[in-house]
Amino acid sequence: MLDRILGPRVPADLSAEQLRGYRLPTLLFSGAALLLIISILMPYWHLDLKAPQFPDGLVVEAFVNRLQGDVVELEGLNHYVGLGSFDDGAVFERSIAVLGILGLAGLLGASLFVHSRWVLFITLPALLFPIIFIVDLQWWLWNYGHNLDPLAPFAAAVGEFTPPIFGPAEIAQFDTLALPGPGLLVAVAASVMIGFGLWHHRKAYKPLIEAAMDTA
């Protein structure tokens, strides 16, 4: 079973030109793993908010495990609208985010030794990670906007709403602009590298797999 997962070994008697085809997936998967680790240090989501009482605007940046910026001021606005505290959102996700991303990078490292189609299953979590992050963030935005405290002063006036994950929006007297952060863009770049890595991996190792099946 282990041999089936690891797949065929690269022949030793190959030219430098032929070896480059096998090294390319390694470089792409390794680069993607490095990008994912770097992304931990960057914000994944950026929110600008303007309101009459804050003419200079407020800025909040979401890292994978914390918020940064004018969080206290925005929490005060949330109280009047009826939004829940940021501390209560995505508690589980934030608690595992850093170790989870390091784990994804570790899977990409393990994929360097896999020369079979099993590489798809090993790299798939890292490939889909940006999509999973976006879907989870949008769910939490929906959850906040649809669970307003009815006792809040402006809850009835605002009503239920779904803040867009990206782009401009108007919520009562507040104008917001949500943008992807550099961390998310780096994670997307990692996914693109994984996609190219899988394509080159199949191109390089499929002939070896077929040859091994023919001789079996």
User: Which pLDDT score is estimated for 215?
Assistant: 62
Residues 6+ apart with CB under 8 A from 44: 62, 63, 64, 133, 137, 180, 181, 183, 184, 187
Residue 197 lies in a domain: yes
Q: What is the pLDDT of residues 32-51, one digit of tens each?
A: 999 999 999 999 999 998 87
Residue 116 lies in a domain: yes
Find the domain containing 39 and state its range.
Answer: 24-215
Average pLDDT over residues 79-103: 90
Residue 13 lies in a domain: no
Q: What is the pLDDT of residues 133-185, one digit of tens each?
A: 999 999 999 998 888 888 887 777 777 788 889 999 887 677 889 999 999 99
CB–CB of 191/130 below 8 Å?
A: yes
User: Which pLDDT score is estimated for 150?
Assistant: 82
Place of tokens 């550099």: 182
User: Which pLDDT score is estimated for 110?
Assistant: 95
Average pLDDT over residues 73-91: 83
Residue 6 lies in a domain: no
Q: Measured between alpha carbons, how far is 30 from 153 in angstroms, rounded to an integer?
A: 52
For the chain, percent of residues with pLDDT exceeding 70: 93
Give rounded-to-5 percent helix, strand, coil for the chain.
60, 15, 25
Residue 210 lies in a domain: yes
The strand ranges marked E within 38-113 are: 45-51, 54-62, 67-69
Q: Measured between alpha carbons, how far is 194 from 56 in angstroms, rounded to an integer?
A: 41
The strand ranges marked E within 108-206 are: 167-171, 174-180
The strand ranges marked E within 24-102 are: 45-51, 54-62, 67-69
Q: What is the pLDDT of residues 110-129, one digit of tens each?
A: 999 998 889 999 999 999 99
* Across 4-13, 20-29, 107-116, 156-165, least confident range: 4-13
For the chain, percent of residues with pLDDT exceeding 90: 55
pLDDT at 29 over 60: yes
Residue 4 lies in a domain: no
The strand pair at 167-171 and 54-62 is best described as: unpaired
Q: Measured between alpha carbons, how far is 8 from 117 in angstroms, rounded to an integer?
A: 11
What is the count of structural domains for the chain? 1
Residue 65 lies in a domain: yes
User: Which pLDDT score is estimated for 149?
Assistant: 82
User: Which pLDDT score is estimated for 38?
Assistant: 98
Residue 132 lies in a domain: yes
* Reported pTM: 0.90
